[in-house]
Amino acid sequence: MELRSILHFIVHQASEAEIASILAALDARIKGGPQDYTVDFRRLAGKALEGFAAKFQPVDPNGMTRRLVASMIKGTEPGISDADLNVLLDTWIPSPAQAESTEKAIPVPMLFTMIQQFVGYSTGTLSAADEKELRKSIPDWPARYWEQFAPQTRELISSFLQGNTNKDEFWRSIGYRLTGKNF
């Protein structure tokens, strides 16, 4: 398989579990660790946990959800290493701090565009052409975007979509959140 095909698969087709596997393999290679990459994340997770992860991004301040999911994974795959278990847990149940750091890694102009697209989609103002293009590149883009937003950004978006904040106030709050400046 040529490199271009591999990269295309990773960028456009790989599931989150496959990407986690790839990252674990790369991390092991960089660190000179064991060369066994046989963890089958799909089998490990099972359809029930995939559905759980897709539908439920919990705020889990005391770790209860994380412990519950860890217990479910260990019940399915008793021999899973702590490192592999943590990769799965961090992917499916990010802590608020992880979600915050993920958002901060996205350049502000890109993050602002993501918020505009998400809000446009949610309010029905995103053009059909734009939605089609987004779905072409990322089939489940609304869920993927939502996962990237930090809890505070999610709260601002939810408040606006529920009608608790007007449009001007929402965009001012988003601008301040992203740049630290009042507009």
State residue 100's pLDDT score: 58
State residue 142's pLDDT score: 92
State residue 137's pLDDT score: 83
Q: What is the pTM of this model?
A: 0.48
The tokens for 25 are 């393999």
pLDDT tens over the chain, length 183 residues? 577 777 767 777 777 666 766 766 666 666 665 555 554 444 444 433 344 444 444 445 556 777 877 888 888 888 888 888 877 776 666 666 655 556 777 778 888 889 999 999 999 999 999 999 888 888 888 988 888 888 889 999 999 999 999 999 999 999 888 887 776
Q: Where are any strands of DSSP class E within 34-110? A: none
In terms of C-beta density within 10 A (0-12 exposed, 13-18 middle, 19 or more buried), how is residue 173 classed? buried
Contact (CB, 8 A) for 21 and 41: yes
Going from N- to C-terminal start, the domains of the chain cover 3-93, 101-179
Residue (of 104, 145, 150) closest to 121 by Cα position: 145
Backbone CA torsion sign across 143, 149, 153, 155? positive
State the DSSP H helix or E strand holding residue 156, giving kind and residue range, or none if neither: helix 151-161
Contact (CB, 8 A) for 84 and 104: no
State residue 83's pLDDT score: 82
In terms of C-beta density within 10 A (0-12 exposed, 13-18 middle, 19 or more buried), how is residue 142 classed? middle
